Amino acid sequence: MAGGIYVFDTTLRDGTQGEGISLSADDKIKIARKLDKLGVHYIEGGNPGSNNKDIEFFKRVKELKLNAKLTAFGSTRRKNIAVEQDGNLQRIVESGVPAATLVGKAWDFHVHTALQTTLEENLSMIYDSFAYLKQYGMEAIYDAEHFFDGFKNNPDYALAALRKAHEAGADWLVLCDTNGGTLPNEIRDIVARVRNELNAPIGIHTHNDCELAVANTLAAVQAGATQIQGTINGYGERCGNANLCSIIPNLQLKMQYHCIADEQMQQLTSVARYVSEIANAHMPVGQPFVGSAAFAHKGGIHVSAVMKDSKTYEHIAPELVGNKQRVLVSELAGQSNIISKAQEMGLDVNANNEHTKSIIDKIKDLEHQGYQFEGADASLELLLREAFGQTKEIFRLESFKMLVEKSAGQMMSEAIVKVNVDGQTVYTAAEGNGPVNALDNALRKALVQFYPDIMGVVLSDYKVRVIDEKDATAAKVRVMIESTDFDNTWSTVGVSDNIIEASWEALVDSIRYALLGSEKQESEQATRGQLGLVNH
Amino acid sequence: MAGGIYVFDTTLRDGTQGEGISLSADDKIKIARKLDKLGVHYIEGGNPGSNNKDIEFFKRVKELKLNAKLTAFGSTRRKNIAVEQDGNLQRIVESGVPAATLVGKAWDFHVHTALQTTLEENLSMIYDSFAYLKQYGMEAIYDAEHFFDGFKNNPDYALAALRKAHEAGADWLVLCDTNGGTLPNEIRDIVARVRNELNAPIGIHTHNDCELAVANTLAAVQAGATQIQGTINGYGERCGNANLCSIIPNLQLKMQYHCIADEQMQQLTSVARYVSEIANAHMPVGQPFVGSAAFAHKGGIHVSAVMKDSKTYEHIAPELVGNKQRVLVSELAGQSNIISKAQEMGLDVNANNEHTKSIIDKIKDLEHQGYQFEGADASLELLLREAFGQTKEIFRLESFKMLVEKSAGQMMSEAIVKVNVDGQTVYTAAEGNGPVNALDNALRKALVQFYPDIMGVVLSDYKVRVIDEKDATAAKVRVMIESTDFDNTWSTVGVSDNIIEASWEALVDSIRYALLGSEKQESEQATRGQLGLVNH
């Protein structure tokens, strides 16, 4: 064990500076609870001097009795006033938190250009502000803004800023790469030099402008920093803050530092996804450690090796961070992906069998036409079940008709479907909010009398992509639909040069998949009576 | 200048291993053209032994006469056969590329577990395969798979694999961190040890599983690697490959290595966005260097400092990589772009003018609804011209009707439009290959008698994006259309919860823009007679 590291989470403060990230006091409470379960040591809740939402948060969060230490954020006192006159610092003390972080300049250029004061006044601002916090018995953390740029430009002044905070009683000196422009070897060298000059606990706060925030944090820890500041999923201004979801497992699983308990580490994936939901921020499938594709295998040779030993193409066991292995199917894949998928489904397949080979050829051919099964597991499963004679015909389309009309500025979309269910022809129509919605409504309406379960299924996502753009509006489109019954989620695909037909294909697969295990309803009349449908 | 670095792009090969990334031969041609303009030295086009699409690509790409060297990808020969019997290696030679990359095992564990052969046979496979390529006079690149894991487990064997390739004539030894689990300090140490042992050009190929791919590449270059392998936007399996869009500016702007010309560097942002469009992969706003938020400022204090001197919160000048500064949630945001666009068009605008402010408000409101004018210059220009009374009404829609029918397995799409041109009602119908194509045909048919020029305009691209995915098929869609008259190309946008209406909007803008300078045709009867249209 190389040593203990304090995890300082600033998702609720610096994370909200990210474009499109906005959290209510309620959202912040929910996230704080999760962060506490994850085992972070500090939760920076916000800036009580800057807005009322954060004041409300600090009031409410106290009731949660968290294990993590709550910290409030602010700046060193304004120039040329007494510290007692600084309203923002008063708000921090009033918020009743046990710890506070104050940002203060450490780059002489910023003192002149942004602050527009003297180097001496900035040092007094630092000293006065930390002495003020310590007077109230608070734990005091100095975020030395632009420390690395400052050190490169004027090392004596950057160190003088740290010394002032230290003399005033600051408990932590946190070196910030505020603009995110510093390289890992520079970080390592400068942190080591600071450690030679000052005997104080050192923290590191990096930004991702060079795609190096994680590496920079690791380099600082290797040089002796013991507090790491960052955010869940790396949210933050511009290119984001250092991503704790990558830093924590790197430090603990690869470098033998201790950050959180092993059971807490197993919650990392669910915490990351939860926070992305609350923040309404799209999580990239390929996000390291916690993304849904982080342990997904696509290449055929890779898949066959992973089936022999997952260590062949996985750098850690995904379960350590609460994630799991997935196998994708695609044109690049040899047959092993398809075979493992079929085996998952309990189908009896064999790579040397002619039948299996013909199924693989069929899938490859469909992919060549533009189908993509890696994101459409349910369509693939239907295809495999069909090949093995394990599907029943739920219904057969006789015809559909779509009508979209714009008249007097109003849009109207209507679908008419004629389907055959078990020998019976159902002919029905429905309106919708757009053509695909109308088609979906009409199809459900036709089937509900036989399969009432389909009313519990909703489409949760709809994607369209033009496959070959050469012919513009006459080009092929691929439609992907995601559906859910609130227990399970599944995806289906359709391809055609007609967007309505492609949507129809994906819709039909979605409903066929939903009804795989359903039995046809016997009391047809009762159901139809209830819903008042007259379809024939 | 620290030295020249060879940039090896594998977007078209390893990039397509990423989940959701699938490129047609056509897409690959488009991307290859852009990569060549960017100035990469090698373009790995695909794996001719694995699929026909890649064989087609290699055939077509030769006609482009690119400056970059094209390379094909494959594996060392299969075990226990003569190299001449290996079909995949034959395909590579047949593809006619000047260079090829072969992946071969360097980790003893993989030889036993995945390959299931002896350590000796694997070394022979490496030797035979590279000797075979050299026999055909090709440049030969050895991707030493799992080199770092292999070296940590059995350094002698990992080095023996490199030596075999080198002896057989391989021109490059590329050390791969295939599982993405290695840390920067390990990479640096191991590359340095390899350089001590072997006098050969070294490359580096990393993956992003620890969010360290960029740092690992930089560490390898610092230790003496002179070829960097990666992809645009970091596309690739699991968490992706090393992101060239971050590595190139880090090496060149911060570490004084030379990769590409300065003018090429200024195309980095547009290339990254173009590739993300072609791959239909969402680009994170906060992507380092090239993302739309990479130089966006939100915090009030930051904004005011940036206005004094952008160096205060920007690690590089965004123009160096073709990106630009943005200020979020501020009265000043966007305004200057719009004003500069209007000035370009010769319109008399003034930031302090009430009329200008109301136009900016209108554009902001449209953007809030989902319109995006950055990629739809023609729609923006029409909007501005309208606001300044500089458009004429070419036609006015009275109504349209779309009919899509599927019956007896056949699809039929038909559009009926009723438009008013200069007081005259034109009522016409057309079929099409899909609903949007039918609408396009009907609209042209209605207008051609007045504006014969529109027959010279074709739609060259059509894109659909779901904006808010929560309500699935009832969600809003944004349609972007690109049109060309073979001299000029322009883009237009439409937004609606109905895909047909959104397409209609973009279509109408496209045609209005095409006809901006056109005069209405006087000899209507002649034109109508020629085309045989009877529309009233």
At A444, which CATH number? 3.30.160.270
Q: Tell me the C-alpha distance between B500 and B415, whole Å.
A: 11
| 3-class SS letters over A344-410 | HCCCCCCCCCHHHHHHHHHHHHHHHHCCCCCCCHHHHHHHHHHHCCCCCCCCEEEEEEEEEEEECCE
Whether residues B77 and B154 fall in one domain: yes
CB spacing of A301 vs B250 below 8 angstroms: no
Whether residues B481 and B400 fall in one domain: yes
Q: Tell me the C-alpha distance between B338 and B99, whole Å.
A: 47
Nearest Cα of chain B lies from the Cα of A199 at a distance, in angstroms, of 26
User: What are the tens digits of pLDDT across the range B3-16?
Assistant: 799 999 999 999 99
pLDDT value of residue B330:
38
Would an 8 Å CB–CB cutoff place A183 in contact with chain B? yes
Instruction: Please indicate, yes or no, if residue A527 is contained in any of the structural domains.
Output: yes
User: What are the tens digits of pLDDT across the range B469-507?
Assistant: 444 555 788 888 888 887 777 889 999 988 899 999 999
Instruction: Please indicate, yes or no, if residue B289 is contained in any of the structural domains.
Output: no
Report the residue of chain A nearest B312, measured CA to CA.
A110
Burial A215-234 (b: 16+ CB within 10 A, else e): bbbbbbbbbbbbbbbbbbbb
Least CB-CB distance to B402: which of A184, A404, A504? Answer: A404
CB spacing of A288 vs B214 below 8 angstroms: no
Whether residues B64 and B107 fall in one domain: yes
Listed as ranges, residues in chain A with pLDDT below 50 are 1, 331-332, 469-471, 521-536
Residue A292 Cα to chain centre, angstroms = 9
pLDDT value of residue A522:
44
What's the number of CA atoms in the CB half-sphere (13 Å) around residue B243?
31
Report the residue of chain A nearest B499, measured CA to CA.
A434
Would an 8 Å CB–CB cutoff place B50 in contact with chain A? yes
- Counting the structural domains of chain A, the total is 2
Q: What is the mean pLDDT of residues B396-406?
A: 93
Tokens of A325: 């292995």
Q: Give the residue among B118, B117, B195, B116 at the shortest CA–CA distance from B151.
A: B195
Res B535 pLDDT > 60:
no
What ipTM goes with this model?
Answer: 0.72
DSSP tag of A472: G
Nearest Cα of chain A lies from the Cα of B431 at a distance, in angstroms, of 12
What are A204's strand-pairing partners? A175, A228
Instruction: Please indicate, yes or no, if residue B508 is contained in any of the structural domains.
Output: yes
CATH classification of the domain holding A198: 3.20.20.70
Whether residues B128 and B262 fall in one domain: yes
pLDDT value of residue A175:
98
Whether residues B96 and B212 fall in one domain: yes
- The SS3 assignment for B140 reads strand
Q: What is the mean pLDDT of residues B509-527?
A: 66
DSSP tag of B478: E
Domain boundary residue among B278, B304, B339?
B278
pLDDT value of residue A468:
59
Q: How many residues belong to chain B?
A: 536
**Chain B residues within an 8 Å CB radius of A499:** 434-436, 464, 499
Interface test with chain A among B499, B508, B511, by most A beta carbons within 10 Å: B499
Least CB-CB distance to B403: which of A211, A403, A465? Answer: A403
A474 versus B432: the higher-pLDDT residue is: B432
pLDDT value of residue A519:
54
Least confident of A310-324, B241-255, B282-296, B372-386: B372-386
Instruction: Please indicate, yes or no, if residue B427 is contained in any of the structural domains.
Output: yes
CB spacing of B209 vs A315 below 8 angstroms: yes
Instruction: Please indicate, yes or no, if residue A305 is contained in any of the structural domains.
Output: no
Whether residues B103 and B163 fall in one domain: yes
Tokens of A158: 């950057």
Whether residues B226 and B300 fall in one domain: no
Would an 8 Å CB–CB cutoff place A60 in contact with chain B? no
Cα-based distances in Å from A476 to A55, A469, B431, B497: 54, 8, 17, 21
Q: Tell me the C-alpha distance between A193 and A185, whole Å.
A: 12
Instruction: Please indicate, yes or no, if residue B162 is contained in any of the structural domains.
Output: yes
Whether residues B274 and B299 fall in one domain: no
Domain boundary residue among A200, A223, A258?
A258
Q: Tell me the C-alpha distance between B43 and B34, whole Å.
A: 11
Instruction: Please indicate, yes or no, if residue B60 is contained in any of the structural domains.
Output: yes
Whether residues B307 and B255 fall in one domain: no
Its domain, for residue B451, covers 396-531
With tokens 């439609």, the residue in question is: A479
Whether residues B55 and B199 fall in one domain: yes
- The SS3 assignment for B307 reads helix
Domain boundary residue among A232, A258, A284?
A258
**Chain A residues within an 8 Å CB radius of B255:** 183
Instruction: Please indicate, yes or no, if residue A463 is contained in any of the structural domains.
Output: yes
What are A284's strand-pairing partners? none
Q: Tell me the C-alpha distance between A363 and B184, whole Å.
A: 41
Confidence of residue B25 (pLDDT cuts 50, 70, 90): confident
Whether residues A72 and A220 fall in one domain: yes
**Chain B residues within an 8 Å CB radius of A153:** none
Confidence of residue B337 (pLDDT cuts 50, 70, 90): low
**Chain B residues within an 8 Å CB radius of A480:** none
Report the residue of chain A nearest B466, measured CA to CA.
A463
Q: How many residues belong to chain A?
A: 536
Q: Tell me the C-alpha distance between B301 and B404, whole Å.
A: 56
Question: To 5 degrees, how large is the angle CA A456–CA A459–CA A460?
Answer: 110
Q: What is the mean pLDDT of residues B153-172?
A: 98
Tokens of B501: 């209406």
User: What are the tens digits of pLDDT across the range A172-202?
Assistant: 999 999 999 999 999 999 999 999 999 999 9
Nearest Cα of chain A lies from the Cα of B407 at a distance, in angstroms, of 4
Whether residues B327 and B411 fall in one domain: no
Confidence of residue B299 (pLDDT cuts 50, 70, 90): low
User: What are the tens digits of pLDDT across the range B197-237?
Assistant: 999 999 999 999 999 999 999 999 999 999 999 999 999 99
Task: Name the B residues in 184-243 with CB < 8 Å from any A CB.
Answer: 184-185, 208-212, 214-216, 218-219, 222, 236-240, 243
